[in-house]
Structure 1
Amino acid sequence: MTMNPSMATGTVVLLPVWGAGHLMPMLEAGKRLLASSGRALSLTVLVMRPPTEQQASEVEGHIRREEAAGLDVRFHRLPAVEPPTDHVGPVEFISRCVQLHLPHVRAAMSGLACPVAALLLDLFCTEMLDLSRELAVPAYVFFTCNAAALSFFLRLPALHEEVAGEFEEMEGAVDLPGLPPMPPSSLPTPIMDRTKPCCAWYVYHGRCFMDADGIIVNTVAELEQRILSAIADGRCTRGISAPTLYPVGPVISFDPPAKHPHDCVRWLETQPPGSVVLLCFGSGGYFTAPQAHEVARGLERSGHRFLWVLRGPPALGGRHPTDANLAELLPEGFLERTGEKGLVWPTRAPQKEILAHAAVGGFVTHCGWNSILESLWFGVPMAPWPLYAEQHLNAFALVAGMGVAVAMEVDRKRDNFVEAAELERAVKALMGGGEEGRKAREKAGEMKAACRKAVEDGGSSCATLKRLRDAVLRHK
């Protein structure tokens, strides 16, 4: 545990799960709350040890950088637990790991020298809501995804009762208030098989959200106004008022500028403005050779410039993508034929730096919400290629709800396979001069302005953050 000198009279306790996509947005939101409190509050982050050494190393790296910044943030590492081995899917695994941490979280909060002003919980940590009531501490869910996904979480308990069979076999569209009628194929991956525990855990968390003192959403009011209004009006919860919503986004953490430009950025410097389509699929996205061959053919036939961040399948027994072996994954001669127009990068790349570059004109994305927010922050339109979690719902919201993306047909029944011809069509639509791409570019530009205005003094997210600060300080 690292202590910093503090004049704070209360601390806000953060309990994130270990993935960087959960940890970093919650920590960034907490730091904004800290800054708005005028040193009346500090932050205490309870750190659950990640299940793999790779994840543990990444989390420790983030913590060391935050500790070096000298802010009034303390990191309390919780004792390790023995993770479950009989789980089915990541949602069940995470939720059960959180359950095992309950006594350690209780002990940590009870032992803090500074009074606890509030508890901020990751969306998969709702098991701790009972503990917050036991300790008489207000608890807020920090929802790392968008308002559309929150609407689904809140709607799911009733939907679970209304639908008899599998969700993917539903007749007609799914009614998700605030969005156009949605095809069942756009529902989140973990609930598609109702016989597996992940679906039951989604239902459980959706019910528990209603017991929170508030829900902090990493979105912008202007981006999802109709959905936020539907949630606030109780249209997702059978007329029962939802907890107070706090849309404070976009919450994006930016690293300090690099001393030397990354190789990908240097390559972009040689490309014309708005000419490059970026393909990047998050920390968990990877391709096998058959899919990579389809992507290569589609890109080559599109004729557009591209920067493709390609990861290979996990090693035997592993969970994480590996650096790509381009000789094994790509068609023979592809790199030579496209060398003047394209770059295939076989390991991690600085996505935010790439999206910020003027040469990038489009983004083929896995639809992780953090990646979407980064794309909108820089005004880059998208073509959605969802892979897992709530990403199919995000893809639908991008196209049908926000209008910032061109549609792309993804075959869910074939492990989210995309044919070369479909990728070619989507890239041409996204990057070309047609009506579909033009509308997406215009809308993405509007959302860029809305996102930046929201976090400025007087903007909607800035005002919401002050409301949250006042609610926390009133309790303290």
Structure 2
Amino acid sequence: MDTEKLHVAIVASPGLGHLTPVLLLGNRLATHHNIHVTVIVVTTQLSPAESKILHPSTAPKLLNIVQVPHVDISGLIDANTKVVTQLSIMMRETRPRIRSAISAMNHRPDALIVDLFGSELFPIAEEFCMPRYIFVTSTAWFVALTTYCQVLDKEIQGEYVDQKEPLKIPGCRPVHPKDVVDPMLDRSDQQYREYIRHGVEYSMFDGILMNTWEDLEPTTIQALRNDEILQTVVKVPVYPIGPLSTPVKPVSQKSELIEWLDTQPSDSVMYVSFGSGGTMAAEQVNELAWGLELSQQRFIWVVRPPMESHADGTFFTAGNGPDGTPAYLPERFLTRTHKLGKVVPLWVPQMEILNHPSVGVFLSHCGWNSALESISNGVPMVAWPLYAEQRLNATLLTEDLGVAWRPTVLPAKKVVEREEIEKMVRNVMQYREEGKGRWERVKEVKCSGDRALSKGGSSYNSLCEVIKDCERRLKKLI
């Protein structure tokens, strides 16, 4: 089959963390492999960042983007329904609309790629006789844990977080109980059952694509391919195709934030952001503010209202202080730190900031998209995981890869107090010789990722294998 005529549909479930890597995969297939790509986006109320990405002026030009509104599931959930359950129900209920969108295309897709919540769409691929692949927008370690959890479910009694010993995955690094992903925190909750089902359904597809690369997780990737025990649950090929991260785009006019960065010394600014969905308790927001101020180090902080607040994107104008400081930040915080740093509500152009020579460290929630963006710009991290698989990522980044520091207190378990934050920020930013290895190591990992994506590199070849596999399967159907 001529790959110029190959048409692939990729489905993104709701959320910026799913949309971004799906668009990057689609763009890579289109630009580097001459594939016609349609991206089907299941939309809810779009965040400012999602709206910007999907706007015709900024969306990838070579992709055909189809937005499918999700079905109202308010009658199927309540206030206690966890995120994994909500997304699973949403994708199940929206399946008829996605099927209609695919059926209505003039050139029906030859193959279907879905993100990690898209296993609900397996029947559509089966009905239309399409080769089908699942794209896990995270690490190989996450894939190993997710697929093997069906075995752990039978072997382990009680809650995983209460276990005294690490959870063993054949051929892989064990998972410490404190690092388990959110759905594994409560085995009585529906999202745990949804998570187990997802891991089982990965092997219903023709292959598992992962946003990682051979040199980043060699032991885990080899275990997924070759370990006899792990192969009993991972029954299909795995394809490391990363690191897929957002490229830096040239801008015609610099923002005020970038102009401020231009005036700062090299590697002197700490960038602080917890992702598109990361929120903390008001007490922790307050302690972080004090810690940043007391450290007297330069910073950019993307602030979101704390969990208890329902403030919207205009919260900076609703502050109680005379300088407009929001009520949940220390009084006159903005006034006292206006020369030291920049506090920005909700969203910033992250790649543009990480790419700037003045930014030396990224204090991050360790969402995998953000981690890859930091690595691709050669910026080490302070790991501050909040939810989902971020604790797993934080351990990988700090202990295995050596590209991040982490607080002695686990932020997800306890409030990290201002004294520790002050000390940590100052140590990381001032005493660079002490942590020099992390700066050197992150540059090495960046180069490794660049090589993997280049023509002839491991990830480039891996994506070529996906295309060849798809073509072989299509020929059998003719």
Which TM-score applies when normalising by structure 1?
Answer: 0.89
In angstroms, what is the RMSD of aligned CA positions? Answer: 2.6
Q: Match for residue 44 of structure 1?
A: 38
Q: Match for residue 439 of structure 1?
A: 437
Distance 1:200 1:474, change over 3 A: same
Q: Match for residue 322 of structure 2?
A: none
Give the conservation status (yes or no) of the 8 Å contact 2:261–2:358.
Answer: yes
Give the conservation status (yes or no) of the 8 Å contact 1:119–1:139.
Answer: yes
> In the alignment, is residue 278 of structure 1 matched against residue 271 of structure 2?
yes
Question: Could you list the per-position Cα deviations for residues 387-432 of structure 1 after superposition, in whole angstroms to 9, with x for gaps in the alignment?
Answer: 1111111111111121111121344665x53222222333234324
Give the conservation status (yes or no) of the 8 Å contact 1:151–1:236.
Answer: no
Tell me the matched-pair count: 462
Distance 1:82 1:134, change over 3 A: same
Q: Match for residue 175 of structure 2?
A: 182
Question: Could you list the per-position Cα deviations for residues 433-472 of structure 1 after superposition, in whole angstroms to 9, with x for gaps in the alignment?
Answer: 3676222212111111112222222222112122222222
Q: Which amino acid aligns with 1:231?
A: L
For residue 425 of structure 2, give the secondary structure of its aligned residue in structure 1: helix
Give the conservation status (yes or no) of the 8 Å contact 1:21–1:370.
Answer: yes
> In the alignment, is residue 21 of structure 1 matched against residue 14 of structure 2?
no
Q: 1:63 aligns with which of 29, 35, 54?
A: 54
Note the 1:180-219 alignment, pairs <5 A.
Answer: 180-219=173-212
Question: Could you list the per-position Cα deviations for residues 93-113 of structure 1 after superposition, in whole angstroms to 9, with x for gaps in the alignment?
Answer: 110111112223333334433
Residue 30 of structure 1 deviates from its aligned partner by 1.7
The 2-side partners of 1:274 and 1:60 are apart by 31
Give the conservation status (yes or no) of the 8 Å contact 1:314–1:322.
Answer: no
Distance 1:304 1:203, change over 3 A: same
The 2-side partners of 1:20 and 1:80 are apart by 15
Question: Could you list the per-position Cα deviations for residues 48-107 of structure 1 after superposition, in whole angstroms to 9, with x for gaps in the alignment?
Answer: 231x3x44x765543333797542x33334365222442511110110111112223333
The 2-side partners of 1:190 and 1:336 are apart by 41
Give the conservation status (yes or no) of the 8 Å contact 1:117–1:473.
Answer: no
> In the alignment, is residue 247 of structure 1 matched against residue 247 of structure 2?
no
Q: Match for residue 349 of structure 2?
A: 350
The 1-side partners of 2:104 and 2:125 are apart by 14
Q: Which consecutive unaligned segments of at least 5 residues does structure 1 have?
A: 1-6
The 1-side partners of 2:40 and 2:346 are apart by 31
The 2-side partners of 1:177 and 1:267 are apart by 50
Q: 2:29 aligns with which of 21, 26, 33?
A: 33
The 2-side partners of 1:182 and 1:241 are apart by 18
Q: Which amino acid aligns with 2:425?
A: V
Note the 1:104-119 alignment, pairs <5 A.
Answer: 104-119=97-112
Q: Match for residue 119 of structure 2?
A: 126
Give the conservation status (yes or no) of the 8 Å contact 1:381–1:440.
Answer: yes
Give the conservation status (yes or no) of the 8 Å contact 1:123–1:144.
Answer: yes
The 1-side partners of 2:394 and 2:174 are apart by 14
Residue 323 of structure 1 deviates from its aligned partner by 4.2
Give the conservation status (yes or no) of the 8 Å contact 1:234–1:242.
Answer: no
The 2-side partners of 1:241 and 1:380 are apart by 34
> In the alignment, is residue 262 of structure 1 matched against residue 242 of structure 2?
no
Give the conservation status (yes or no) of the 8 Å contact 2:26–2:39.
Answer: no
> In the alignment, is residue 76 of structure 1 matched against residue 69 of structure 2?
no
For residue 101 of structure 1, give the secondary structure of its aligned residue in structure 2: helix
The 2-side partners of 1:177 and 1:323 are apart by 49
For residue 133 of structure 2, give the secondary structure of its aligned residue in structure 1: strand
Distance 1:123 1:428, change over 3 A: same
Q: Which amino acid aligns with 1:11?
A: H
Q: Which amino acid aligns with 2:468?
A: D
Distance 1:211 1:347, change over 3 A: closer
Q: Which amino acid aligns with 2:25?
A: A
Q: Which amino acid aligns with 1:369?
A: W
Q: Which consecutive unaligned segments of at least 5 residues does structure 2 have?
A: 320-324
Give the conservation status (yes or no) of the 8 Å contact 1:91–1:201.
Answer: yes
Give the conservation status (yes or no) of the 8 Å contact 1:381–1:444.
Answer: yes
Give the conservation status (yes or no) of the 8 Å contact 1:454–1:460.
Answer: yes
Q: Which amino acid aligns with 2:112?
A: L
Question: Could you list the per-position Cα deviations for residues 303-358 of structure 1 after superposition, in whole angstroms to 9, with x for gaps in the alignment?
Answer: 3222222121368668x777454341322344444343322223421111111111
For residue 245 of structure 2, give the secondary structure of its aligned residue in structure 1: coil
For residue 297 of structure 1, give the secondary structure of its aligned residue in structure 2: helix
The 2-side partners of 1:21 and 1:323 are apart by 24
Give the conservation status (yes or no) of the 8 Å contact 2:365–2:383.
Answer: yes
For residue 209 of structure 2, give the secondary structure of its aligned residue in structure 1: strand
Give the conservation status (yes or no) of the 8 Å contact 1:217–1:246.
Answer: yes
Question: Could you list the per-position Cα deviations for residues 245-278 of structure 1 after superposition, in whole angstroms to 9, with x for gaps in the alignment?
Answer: 1111111233632222122211111111111111
For residue 65 of structure 1, give the secondary structure of its aligned residue in structure 2: coil
Distance 1:60 1:425, change over 3 A: closer
Give the conservation status (yes or no) of the 8 Å contact 1:285–1:321.
Answer: no
Question: Could you list the per-position Cα deviations for residues 263-301 of structure 1 after superposition, in whole angstroms to 9, with x for gaps in the alignment?
Answer: 221111111111111111111123444222211222233
Identity of aligned residues (%): 34
For residue 470 of structure 2, give the secondary structure of its aligned residue in structure 1: helix
> In the alignment, is residue 329 of structure 1 matched against residue 328 of structure 2?
yes
The 1-side partners of 2:433 and 2:249 are apart by 38
